[in-house]
Amino acid sequence: MDEYKAWLEEAGVKLPEHRMERLAGRVARELEQRIGDAITEKLTDEQLDEFEDVFIEAQKKQAAWLKKHYPDYEKVVEREAKKIHKELMTAKSAALIVKHWH
């Protein structure tokens, strides 16, 4: 969460700590959603069904499955994180960031 708070601070967002934590959580959830969207576009229905079953297992098993079925998983994570960071950095004001992400 600290990385996302740093992104927000870098973009000029200044909020009380509890609100900054909540906003950073929304950024993290948005990143997860975008990664999921990017991955599911490339998987077959059968792979999606299998992944849903795997999803309830430990995070290490999820990552291992993704590496097997979607070798570029880590690149997707990096790409989507960079996109969100860029969006935050190019926002016209901190107020717009808060409005959009809150």
* Residue 83 pLDDT exceeds 80: yes
The pLDDT tens digits of the residues spanning 20-50 come to: 999 999 999 999 999 989 988 999 999 988 8
Residue 91 backbone phi and psi in degrees, to 5: -60, 145
**Domain ranges across the chain:** 2-101
Q: Is the pTM of this model over 0.75?
A: no
Residue 11 CA: distances (Å) to CA of 7, 16, 22, 54, 84: 6, 15, 16, 36, 11
